[in-house]
Amino acid sequence: MAHVPQTFFDALAVRTWCGLALRALGRAREEIDAINVYPVADGDTGTNLYLTAESAAAAVEAVFDGHDAHGSGKPALADAARAMAHGALIGARGNSGTILAQLLRGMAQVLAADGETAHTDGEGLRLALRHAADSARQAVAHPVEGTVLTVASAAADAAEAAEGDCGTVARAAYDGARAALAATPGQLAVLERAGVVDAGGRGLVAVLGALVETFTGEAPRAVPVMSASPKAGSTEVSAAASEAATASPDECADAPGTGGPAFEVIYLLEAGDTAVARLRERLDGLGDSLVVVGGDGLWNVHVHVDDAGAAVEAGIEAGRPYRIRITHFALGDVHTTGAERQPRERAQRAVVAVVPGEGLAGLYTEAGATTVLARPGEPPASGELVEAVRRAHAREVVLLPNDADLRHTAAAAAEQARAEGIRVALIPTRSAVQGIAALAVHEPERRFDEDVVQMTSAAGATRYAEVAVAERQSWTMAGICQAGDVLGLIDGDVAVIGSDVTVTAETVLDRMLSAGGELVTLVLGDEAPEAVADHLETRVRESYLAVDTVVYRGGRQGAVLLIGVE
């Protein structure tokens, strides 16, 4: 079914493009994973690109939802473009996803510049594609031809030679990228041996195809993934990829061999430009496949190293790293002798939980849960939850979203996991304190249905509240609040507006305990006053007999304080 085309680049075009790109990458994900041989044949390029695009699309949708909620109509192009770039940056996965994030950031820098009208036409799109390709190349420590960087440059070159509207320019960029992709096996020996085109470049062609569809209403023709004279048939792509990747490093200087780095390290980093420049130099000496993207104080760092700890320590010296992911290139990938890895036995049951802060992530992990960290304003996408379910490696999974706003995202993730043969039960926890209550009664040895019922019952019997600071003036159930006011929310609704965190927290706790309770759970954020926990514990001890209190440190969790009453 043909898509209704956009006529120029505005916020709606950004939204449409993100949605179509996500759909295109979703369709091509398994195919791209199968041809992934460079820089590491770990079979996840398609998945990483999809998760990165999903994060970008979710950020754009959030901007539109925010304008709808305030009745302010459609957002400006600059707002949508910046949201797309930010979403991709914080959600970037792997080498390919990190480069895609920088490509989108480069485009956004042009599209968001100089007001609403300067870069909405074909000329603006040409400038955006050129800046995207150049900035992505600059972000890679040692650019290699025959990769997504080559494809991006070819797309920009073709766009610059085109005359006309956005649709004409987009189609020229797509055609240029498609031709460059077909030529990648002749530029990288590892691709030629496997008889495939570059996986990251294939993903970028899919994204550019979505751009064509955005402005013309027509999806471009399919892209072949095999080289013109492949050494393997289409049913042997994965086997050829494995054989090519484990070939002697002497056969291709650019191809990873058996002695390559053992770990992939990725993290977000809050740091200044000068510190990041020093970080690049240090990481470049530690490993390879170094890509550092971002700016304005927020960066996404990707590197392959043997000493993962040193890579993280370098980030700590540069600024504040978080969302740290370390992946070991284990037996059976390019960094081993090629011996087959024995499949790890699936656990019978696991719990996957979304948690709002590093402190709670540690608590949940100690209790045996697989966690997904959600920073304030950066909720995880469904793909990230599916990935966590896979990482749990269990036949049965209990999913705790711990946020009312994540119910649809979690439901989509559960449905995807079920399609992969995993039995998933979604418990609609609306706060991390409800998740704590559910986890406390979790017993993997009993029947799955019984365990889910008990966990659901414990979560439902836990009232939840939070104390937070208002960011702006707004209407609430308790009246009008001003920026800087302290808000006490009970079961998701503002019940108290105050000026002091401790006083507001006490008022909220009294209201909750007026209906009874046996256990109070307090989760302190980094911004909580030092004395608030002692004050509330004393209040409970002196005023409510037979009620116990437990206190946890949540870290950077958004809310100043989380309260649960069971």
- In this prediction, what percent of the chain has a pLDDT beyond 70? 87
Residues 6+ apart with CB under 8 A from 18: 53, 56, 57, 60, 84
d(CA 348, CA 256): 36
d(CA 174, CA 308): 38
Is the CB of residue 58 less than 8 Å from the CB of residue 382? no
pLDDT in tens, the chain (566 residues): 445 577 778 899 999 999 999 999 988 888 898 888 887 776 788 888 998 998 899 899 888 888 777 666 788 899 999 999 999 998 898 889 999 999 999 999 998 886 544 567 888 999 999 999 999 999 999 999 999 999 999 999 999 999 889 999 999 999 999 999 999 999 988 888 888 899 999 999 999 999 999 999 888 877 766 654 444 443 344 444 444 444 333 333 333 334 578 788 889 899 999 999 999 999 999 988 899 999 989 999 999 988 888 888 899 999 988 878 777 765 333 333 333 444 557 888 999 999 987 788 888 888 889 988 887 777 887 778 888 898 888 999 999 999 988 888 888 888 888 888 899 999 999 999 999 999 999 999 999 999 999 999 999 999 999 999 998 888 888 889 898 999 999 998 899 999 999 999 999 999 999 888 899 999 998 888 889 999 999 999 999 988 999 998 888 777 899 999 99
Classify strands 298-305 and 263-270 as parallel, antiparallel or unpaired. antiparallel
Per the DSSP assignment, residues forming a β-bridge with 486 are: 469, 498
Per the DSSP assignment, residues forming a β-bridge with 463 are: 565
Residue 423, pLDDT score: 93
Q: What are phi and psi of 64, to 5 degrees?
A: -65, -40
Is the CB of residue 508 less than 8 Å from the CB of residue 563? yes
d(CA 106, CA 129): 8
Residue 437, pLDDT score: 93
Q: Is the peptide bond before 39 cis (omega within 30 degrees of 0)?
A: yes
d(CA 7, CA 559): 43
| Three-state SS sequence of 267-311 | EEEECCHHHHHHHHHHHHHHEEEEEEEEECCEEEEEEEECCHHHH
Residue 240, pLDDT score: 46
95-131 burial, b at 16+ Cβ within 10 Å, e below that, comes to bbbbbbbbbbbbbbbbbbeeeeeebbbbebbbbbbbb
Residue 406, pLDDT score: 87
Match 């706790």 to its residue by tokens. Answer: 509
Residue 39, pLDDT score: 77
Is the CB of residue 44 less than 8 Å from the CB of residue 100? no
CA nearest neighbour of 166 among 116, 96, 213, 106: 213
Is the CB of residue 144 less than 8 Å from the CB of residue 28? no
d(CA 140, CA 137): 6
Residue 227, pLDDT score: 54
- For the chain, how many residues are written? 566
